[in-house]
Structure 1
Amino acid sequence: MTIFDALTMIGGLCLFLFGMNVMGQALEVSAGRNLRNILAKLTNNISIGFFTGLIITMVIQSSSATTVMVVGFVNSGLLTLKQSIGVIIGANVGTTVTAWILSLQQINGEIFWLKLLKPSAFTPVLAVIGIFLFMFCKGEKKKNIGLIFLGFATLMTGMDTMSSAVEHIGEQQWFIDLLVLFENPLLGILVGTLLTALIQSSSASVGILQIFANSTPISIATCIPIILGMNIGTCITAMLSSIGATKNGKRAAYVHLSFNIIGTFVLIAIFWPLKSFGNIEFFSQNANMWTVAACHTVLKIACTLLLLPSAGLLEKISYWLIPLDETPEQAVVLDERLFATPSIAIERSREVTVDMANCAIKTLTDSLDLFDNYTPELAQAIRDGEEKTDKYEDALGSYLVKLSNYKISASDSAEAAMLLKLIGDFERISDHGVNILEAVEELREKKLSFSEEARKEISVMINATREVLEYASKAFVDGDIEALAEISPLEQVIDVLKETLRSNHIARLQKGNCSIEVGFVWSDLITDLERTSDHCSNIAGCLIDLSNLDMNIHEHLRAIKSDDNTYKKKVSFYTEKYAV
Structure 2
Amino acid sequence: MSLSDVKLLFQFVGGLGMFLYGMNIMADGLQKAAGGRMKRMLGYITNNRLLGVLLGALITAIIQSSSATTVMVVGFVNAGILSLSQAVGVIMGANIGTTVTAWLVSMSEWGEVMKPEFFAPVLIGIGAFMLLFAKKERQKEIGSILVGFGVLFIGLSFMSGSIEPYKDAPVFAQIFTVLGSNPIFGILAGVVVTGIIQSSSASVGILQTLAMNGVVTWNSAVYITLGQNIGTCVTALLASAGAHKTAKRAAVIHLMFNVMGAVLFGIVMFIVFSLNGNWAASTINSTQISVFHTIFNVTNTLILFPFAGKLVSLSGKIVREKVQEPEETLEQKIMSHLDTRILENPSFAIETAKREVVRMGELSLDNVKLGENAVLTNNQESVDRIFAQEKTINFMEKALTEYLVKISNLSLMEEQSEQVKNLLYTVNDLERIGDHAENIAELAESKIQGDIQFSPMGQKDLETIFSYAVGSVENAVSARRNEDAESIRQVIKFEDLVDSTEEDLRDKHIARLANNECRASHGVIFLDIMGNLERVSDHAYNIAGYVKDEM
TM-score by length of 2: 0.91
Deviates more, 1:324-333 or 1:420-429: 324-333
Structure 1: how far apart are the matches of 2:36 and 2:90? Answer: 18
Structure 1: how far apart are the matches of 2:545 and 2:185? Answer: 63
Paired residue for 1:559? none
Paired residue for 2:309? 312
Aligned residue for 1:182, secondary structure, equals helix
Aligned residue for 1:171, secondary structure, equals coil
| Counterpart check, 1:241 vs 2:239 | yes
Instruction: Identify the match of residue 95 of structure 2 among 84, 92, 95.
Output: 92
Deviates more, 1:140-149 or 1:26-35: 26-35
Instruction: Identify the match of residue 178 of structure 1 among 175, 178, 181.
Output: 175
Q: Look up the equivalent residue of 2:546 and give its one-letter code.
A: C
On the 8 A contact 2:498/2:537 being kept in 1, the answer is yes
RMSD: 2.5
> Cα deviation per residue 1:529-567 (whole Å; 9 max; x = unaligned)?
2211211221222222222xxxxxxxxxxxxxxxxxxxx
Paired residue for 1:260? 258
The alpha carbon displacement at 1:307 in A equals: 2.4
Structure 2: how far apart are the matches of 1:457 and 1:217? Answer: 87
Q: Look up the equivalent residue of 1:94 and give its one-letter code.
A: G
The alpha carbon displacement at 1:159 in A equals: 0.6
Structure 1: how far apart are the matches of 2:210 and 2:496? Answer: 73
Paired residue for 1:269? 267
On the 8 A contact 1:62/1:95 being kept in 2, the answer is yes
Task: Note closer, same or farther for the CA distance 1:214–1:466 as it changes in structure 2 (3 Å cut).
Answer: closer
Paired residue for 2:38? 35
Aligned residue for 2:375, secondary structure, equals coil
> Cα deviation per residue 1:44-90 (whole Å; 9 max; x = unaligned)?
33333222222222233221122112111111122111221122122
Structure 2: how far apart are the matches of 1:431 and 1:64? Answer: 43
| Counterpart check, 1:24 vs 2:27 | yes
The alpha carbon displacement at 1:506 in A equals: 4.7
The alpha carbon displacement at 1:98 in A equals: 1.6
Structure 1: how far apart are the matches of 2:315 and 2:92? Answer: 15
Paired residue for 1:522? 526
Structure 1: how far apart are the matches of 2:373 and 2:547? Answer: 28
Structure 2: how far apart are the matches of 1:315 and 1:444? Answer: 54
| Counterpart check, 1:154 vs 2:151 | yes
Bigger radius of gyration, 1 or 2?
1
Q: Look up the equivalent residue of 1:376 and give its one-letter code.
A: Q
Paired residue for 1:381? 385
Aligned pair count reads: 540
Instruction: Identify the match of residue 476 of structure 1 among 476, 480, 488.
Output: 480
Paired residue for 1:462? 466
Task: Note closer, same or farther for the CA distance 1:56–1:490 as it changes in structure 2 (3 Å cut).
Answer: closer
Structure 2: how far apart are the matches of 1:357 and 1:24? Answer: 34
Instruction: Identify the match of residue 361 of structure 2 among 337, 348, 357.
Output: 357
Deviates more, 1:205-214 or 1:430-439: 430-439
Q: Look up the equivalent residue of 2:234 and give its one-letter code.
A: I
Q: Look up the equivalent residue of 1:538 and give its one-letter code.
A: N
> Cα deviation per residue 1:247-274 (whole Å; 9 max; x = unaligned)?
1111111111111122212222232343
Deviates more, 1:373-382 or 1:243-252: 373-382
Structure 1: how far apart are the matches of 2:384 and 2:514? Answer: 37
The alpha carbon displacement at 1:429 in A equals: 1.4
On the 8 A contact 2:186/2:227 being kept in 1, the answer is yes
Task: Note closer, same or farther for the CA distance 1:195–1:474 as it changes in structure 2 (3 Å cut).
Answer: closer
Structure 1: gaps of 5 or more residues = 109-114, 548-580
Aligned residue for 1:89, secondary structure, equals helix
Percent of residue pairs identical: 37
The alpha carbon displacement at 1:172 in A equals: 2.4
| Counterpart check, 1:122 vs 2:128 | no
The alpha carbon displacement at 1:164 in A equals: 1.0
Paired residue for 2:17? 14
Task: Note closer, same or farther for the CA distance 1:312–1:361 as it changes in structure 2 (3 Å cut).
Answer: closer
Aligned residue for 2:491, secondary structure, equals helix
Deviates more, 1:413-422 or 1:319-328: 319-328
The alpha carbon displacement at 1:123 in A equals: 2.1
Paired residue for 1:553? none
Structure 2: how far apart are the matches of 1:87 and 1:456? Answer: 55
Structure 1: how far apart are the matches of 2:227 and 2:185? Answer: 9
Instruction: Identify the match of residue 403 of structure 2 among 394, 399, 415.
Output: 399
Instruction: Identify the match of residue 191 of structure 2 among 178, 190, 193.
Output: 193
Paired residue for 2:219? 221
Structure 2: how far apart are the matches of 1:302 and 1:189? Answer: 18
On the 8 A contact 2:380/2:445 being kept in 1, the answer is no
Instruction: Identify the match of residue 293 of structure 2 among 282, 290, 296.
Output: 296
On the 8 A contact 2:455/2:518 being kept in 1, the answer is yes
The alpha carbon displacement at 1:96 in A equals: 1.4
Aligned residue for 1:406, secondary structure, equals coil
Task: Note closer, same or farther for the CA distance 1:88–1:436 as it changes in structure 2 (3 Å cut).
Answer: same
Paired residue for 2:435? 431
Structure 2: how far apart are the matches of 1:145 and 1:101? Answer: 17
Aligned residue for 1:196, secondary structure, equals helix
Task: Note closer, same or farther for the CA distance 1:351–1:271 as it changes in structure 2 (3 Å cut).
Answer: same
On the 8 A contact 2:102/2:205 being kept in 1, the answer is yes
Instruction: Identify the match of residue 163 of structure 1 among 153, 160, 165.
Output: 160
On the 8 A contact 1:74/1:80 being kept in 2, the answer is yes
Deviates more, 1:518-527 or 1:236-245: 518-527
Paired residue for 1:208? 206
> Cα deviation per residue 1:345-401 (whole Å; 9 max; x = unaligned)?
111211122121122112112212233322232222222332232222222122111
Deviates more, 1:27-36 or 1:3-12: 27-36
Paired residue for 1:69? 72
Q: Look up the equivalent residue of 2:93 and give its one-letter code.
A: G
On the 8 A contact 1:71/1:250 being kept in 2, the answer is yes
The alpha carbon displacement at 1:152 in A equals: 0.9
Deviates more, 1:170-179 or 1:132-141: 170-179
Deviates more, 1:69-78 or 1:489-498: 489-498
Structure 1: how far apart are the matches of 2:357 and 2:532? Answer: 22
| Counterpart check, 1:54 vs 2:54 | no
On the 8 A contact 2:483/2:547 being kept in 1, the answer is no
Structure 2: how far apart are the matches of 1:498 and 1:39? Answer: 42
The alpha carbon displacement at 1:227 in A equals: 1.0
Q: Look up the equivalent residue of 2:65 and give its one-letter code.
A: S
Aligned residue for 2:376, secondary structure, equals coil
Aligned residue for 1:245, secondary structure, equals coil
Paired residue for 1:494? 498
The alpha carbon displacement at 1:478 in A equals: 4.4
Aligned residue for 2:242, secondary structure, equals coil
Paired residue for 1:574? none
Structure 1: how far apart are the matches of 2:385 and 2:432? Answer: 17
Structure 1: how far apart are the matches of 2:532 and 2:143? Answer: 51
Structure 2: how far apart are the matches of 1:37 and 1:295? Answer: 32
Paired residue for 1:575? none
Q: Look up the equivalent residue of 2:91 and give its one-letter code.
A: I
Paired residue for 1:577? none
On the 8 A contact 1:167/1:215 being kept in 2, the answer is yes
On the 8 A contact 2:380/2:448 being kept in 1, the answer is no
Structure 1: how far apart are the matches of 2:161 and 2:289? Answer: 19
On the 8 A contact 1:29/1:341 being kept in 2, the answer is no
Paired residue for 1:285? 282
Q: Look up the equivalent residue of 1:34 and give its one-letter code.
A: R
Task: Note closer, same or farther for the CA distance 1:304–1:375 as it changes in structure 2 (3 Å cut).
Answer: same
The alpha carbon displacement at 1:32 in A equals: 4.7
> Cα deviation per residue 1:308-330 (whole Å; 9 max; x = unaligned)?
33323322331121013467876
Instruction: Identify the match of residue 418 of structure 2 among 414, 420, 423.
Output: 414
The alpha carbon displacement at 1:235 in A equals: 1.0
Structure 1: how far apart are the matches of 2:44 and 2:438? Answer: 40
Q: Look up the equivalent residue of 1:130 and give its one-letter code.
A: G
Q: Look up the equivalent residue of 1:125 and give its one-letter code.
A: V
Paired residue for 1:138? 135
Q: Look up the equivalent residue of 1:410 and give its one-letter code.
A: E
Aligned residue for 1:408, secondary structure, equals coil
On the 8 A contact 1:49/1:84 being kept in 2, the answer is yes
Paired residue for 1:102? 105
